[in-house]
Amino acid sequence: MASAAEAAGELAAALAEVAARLRPAPPGEGPDAPPPGEGGAPGGRRRPAPPPTRRPAPLPGGLHDDSVEAAEHLVRLPRAALLVDGYNASMATWPDLDLVAQRRRLVAALTELEARCGPEVVVVFDGVDDGSAHPARPARRVRVEFTPGAVEADDVLIARAASLPAGRPVVVVSDDHRVRDGARAAGANLVGTAQLQALIGRSRR
Note whether 71 and 91 are within 8 A (CB).
no
The answer, as to whether pTM is greater than 0.75, is: no
List phi, psi (to 5°) of 18.
Answer: -65, -45
- CB count within 10 Å of CB 205 equals 5
Distance, CA of 6 to CA of 17 (rounded, Å): 17
What residues does 142 pair with on adjacent strands?
Answer: 121
The answer as to whether 9 is a domain residue is no
Mean pLDDT of 63-71: 96
Question: In total, how many domains does the chain have?
Answer: 1
Mean pLDDT of 41-61: 75
Domain region containing 146: 64-205
Q: The domain spanning residue 157 has which CATH number?
A: 3.40.50
Closest CA to 162 of 133, 191, 182: 182
Scored b (16 or more CB within 10 A) or e, 61-91 reads eebeeeebebbbbbbebeebbbbbbbbbbbb
**pLDDT at residue 179 above 60?**
yes
**pLDDT at residue 25 above 80?**
no
The answer as to whether 173 is a domain residue is yes
**pLDDT at residue 38 above 50?**
no
Average pLDDT, the chain: 81
pLDDT more than 70, % of the chain? 67
Per-residue confidence at 9, pLDDT binned at 50, 70, 90? low
Per-residue confidence at 149, pLDDT binned at 50, 70, 90? confident
